C-alpha cells in the first residue's frame, strides 16, 4: 500500500521552506541525490494505471497502481513495482498507445522511514510543474501533511497522470 501526500509548489524556495519547518518538528532529512527519468503511462483496461519509468543509465521500473482512495489530502493506493528489462517492457507495450509521457528531475531525501521528494515534471506539451511528495508510514505522512497545510500548501490529490490528461482536455 502506497501512502503519500503531494503538494504543487512554485519552486525550490517552497522545498527549502518546507524542510525548515520539518526540521523544527524533529525531522532530519538527509539528501540522497538527484535523478532524471522519463515516465510513459498506459491504460491497462481495468481502471488502474500502468507506468514504465526509464532512468538515465538504462534501469526500467514497471509500476501498476490501482484502488486509489483519498482522506484529508493523503492518497492511499495499491502499488506493485518491479524492475524489468527493455525487452519485457517492449513485449508488454507492443500495440498499445501511450496515454501520457513525462520527464522528471527528482531530488530525494529521507528522514527515518519517511521519504520526501521534490519533482520538477515536464508534461508532453512542455508544461512544467513542481511537486513536493511525502511517502512513508501513515501517522508520519499525516503529521507532515498537516504541517505543510499549515504553511499554506494545498494537497494535490490528482496523480501526475490525471494532471497530464487534464491538461490535454483543456487544449
- Give the H or E element holding residue 9: strand 2-9
Q: Residues, the chain, total?
A: 171
37 strand-pairing partners: 55, 104
**Parent domain of 132:** 2-170
pTM of the shown model: 0.94
Q: Is the CB of residue 66 less than 8 Å from the CB of residue 47?
A: yes
**CATH (domain of 133):** 2.40.320.10
Q: What is the pLDDT of residues 103-152, one digit of tens each?
A: 999 999 999 999 999 999 999 768 899 999 999 999 999 999 999 999 99
Q: Is the CB of residue 17 less than 8 Å from the CB of residue 86?
A: no
Q: Which residue has the cell 483496461?
A: 45
Q: What is the pLDDT of residues 35-89, one digit of tens each?
A: 999 999 999 999 999 999 999 999 999 999 999 999 999 999 999 999 999 999 9
Reduce the DSSP state of residue 48 to 3 states and report it.
Answer: coil
> How many structural domains does the chain have?
1
Provide the CB-side half-sphere exposure for 68 (13 A, CA): 16
Amino acid at each position: 500500500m502506497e501512502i503519500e501526500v503531494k503538494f504543487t509548489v512554485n519552486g525550490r524556495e517552497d522545498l527549502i521552506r518546507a524542510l525548515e519547518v520539518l526540521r523544527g518538528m524533529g525531522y532530519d532529512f538527509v539528501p540522497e541525490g538527484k535523478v532524471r527519468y522519463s515516465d510513459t503511462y498506459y491504460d491497462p483496461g481495468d481502471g488502474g494505471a500502468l507506468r514504465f519509468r526509464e532512468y538515465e543509465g538504462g534501469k526500467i521500473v514497471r509500476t501498476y497502481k490501482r484502488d486509489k482512495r483519498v482522506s484529508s489530502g493523503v492518497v492511499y493506493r495499491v502499488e506493485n513495482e518491479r524492475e524489468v528489462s527493455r525487452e519485457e517492457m517492449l513485449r508488454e507495450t507492443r500495440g498499445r498507445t501511450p496515454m501520457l509521457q513525462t520527464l522528471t528531475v527528482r531530488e530525494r531525501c529521507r528522514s527515518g522511514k519517511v521519504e520526501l521528494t521534490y519533482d520538477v515534471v515536464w508534461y508532453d506539451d512542455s508544461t512544467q510543474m513542481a511537486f513536493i511528495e511525502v511517502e512513508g508510514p501513515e501517522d508520519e505522512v499525516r503529521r507532515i501533511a498537516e504541517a505543510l497545510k499549515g504553511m499554506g500548501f494545498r494537497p494535490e490529490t490528482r496523480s501526475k497522470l490525471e494532471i497530464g490528461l487534464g491538461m490535454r482536455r483543456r487544449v
